[in-house]
Amino acid sequence: MQLNSSFKQSESFSLTKEPNPEEPEVDKEAEVTITKPSLPASIGEGVGIYTGQRNNSLAFQKSEELQKTLLLHRHERQLIILQDFPDPDALSCAWTYQLIAQQYDIKCEIIYAGTLSHQENIALVKLTGLPAQRWTPQTLKGKDLSCYQGLVFIDNQGTTSQLLSAVQQAGIPIVAVIDHHSLQTDIKADFVDIRPYVRATATIFTQYLQTGLLSLDSSIGQHVKCATALMHGLRSDTNRLMQAQEEDFMAAAYLSRFYDAQLLNAILQANRSKRVMDVIERSLKNRIVQNNFSIAGVGYLRYDDRDAIPQAADFLVTEENVHTAVVYGIVHDEDDELEVVIGSLRTTKLTLDPDEFIKEAFGQDSTGRFFGGGRTGAGGFEIPMGFLSGSNENSAYARMKWEVFDAQIKQKLLRLVNPKDNPIQSE
């Protein structure tokens, strides 16, 4: 596993203003083989005490490492793999990587296996011309994967993509993993930049831009659109900057020089579909509130409406006396008869770690893989239904199946919400 000292360093990251004697000094003078990224004076000077030293040195070090990696992989074709249901943070960062890599004659295709289901994501892709493509596992079968020399995982570590096993079987090596979720799996890659304390991968990518990996130019339409996409990613992963920390604000400040506020507004104005509104209504109707947790099962929903689940959780967590909301449902893909239980957690409770909570609640599958995880304030889980998938033409059977999953998920959650209760007897 190639996790270097800077990753370990990041784990113990804190907002302390004291200089950390253990922090290794990055010897920039030693890097003679590559062009040193040039840091604009405005982020190096006069900007707060701790960011001045610590974060900049990590950002520099990682930018230099990434630059070296890209130099080693010049003229390649790479696949950037996003989670099955990519969000604005993932989409914008993948685009940024593509633009950075272009300078090294690396051609990247941005792919995801699921669907763009949130209305804002569809608007983002359409309005900015963001070059992401949907490749289902079927699409992959028809592709000649031998023309790709590298895989890149952005805003994920491969564990949330259906495409992972197929691309790994094709023997394509992992070139880079850039993410802000907690470490999900053992990673072997040329370049790893995982910073769980950063609120958005867009912050990491903006730092790459700031250290000179790509100089944004307001007169280039694509740069303006990409900066707008990054601003959207950053905002949406930080609950409109409300959970942003200094680094995220610094990144937003930098992007503010380039982004198109009107375009961002147009993306944010995208309306919810009626079906999404219906799922939110079901979540309101079905919710149970215990110990400041709001828990709602919403039954079956179509694959394309999957994003209604996090949106319902976003809404439920706004209720008075609720700090954490969990919403889940059975998502079905009509073509494949594939069913999976999908859930989202949202919390405003600072001491609740969504990653820990979800791993503790649902545990692991038979291969040792967790059913979900999370980042600050948010988490998600996916439980494949395997043999029980399909046959929902029989509505009594479909209802029974839902009731069993609903009861099982509630039991697992309530065990953590009310540690002393036995939820079966209490209901």
What residues make contact with Mn ion under the rule CB under 5 A?
A: 89, 155, 201, 237
Q: Give the Cα separation of 56 and 247 in Å (integer).
A: 10
By the 8 A CB rule, do 112 and 94 touch? no
Please measure the distance between the N-terminal and C-terminal CA atoms of the chain and give it in whole angstroms.
47
| Type of residue found at 192 | V
Number of residues written out for the chain: 427
* 279 within 8 A of 303, measured Cβ to Cβ: no
Comparing C-alpha atoms, which of 203, 9, 196, 170 is closest to residue 81? Answer: 170
SS3 322: coil
We find the least distance from the C-beta atom of residue 378 to Mn ion, in angstroms, to be 9
Between 65 and 155, CB nearer to Mn ion: 155
Full DSSP string of 120-156: HHHHHHHHHT--EEE--HHHHHTS-GGG--EEEEESS
Taking the least distance from each CB to Mn ion, the nearer of 93 and 167 is 93
- Give the chain's radius of gyration (CA, Å): 22
Query: What is the token pair recorded at 233?
Result: 């990613």
Q: Which is nearer to Mn ion, 205 or 402 (CB)?
A: 205
Least distance to Mn ion, CB of residue 237, Å: 4
- Look up tokens 């979900």; give the residue: 372
Q: How far is the CB of 195 from Mn ion (least distance, A)?
A: 11
Tell me the closest approach of the beta carbon of residue 179 to Mn ion, in angstroms. Answer: 8
Closest residue to Mn ion using C-beta atoms: 89
- Quote the CA–CA distance of 3 and 294 in Å, as a whole number: 38
Q: Please classify residue 386 by burial: count the beta carbons closer than 10 Å to its beta carbon, then call 0-12 exposed, 13-18 middle and 19+ buried.
A: exposed
**Residue 108 Cβ vs Mn ion, minimum distance, rounded to whole Å:** 19
Find the shortest distance in angstroms from Cβ 373 to Mn ion: 12
Q: Smallest distance, Å, CB 82 to Mn ion? A: 10
Our CA angle for 196, 199, 204, nearest 5°, is 80
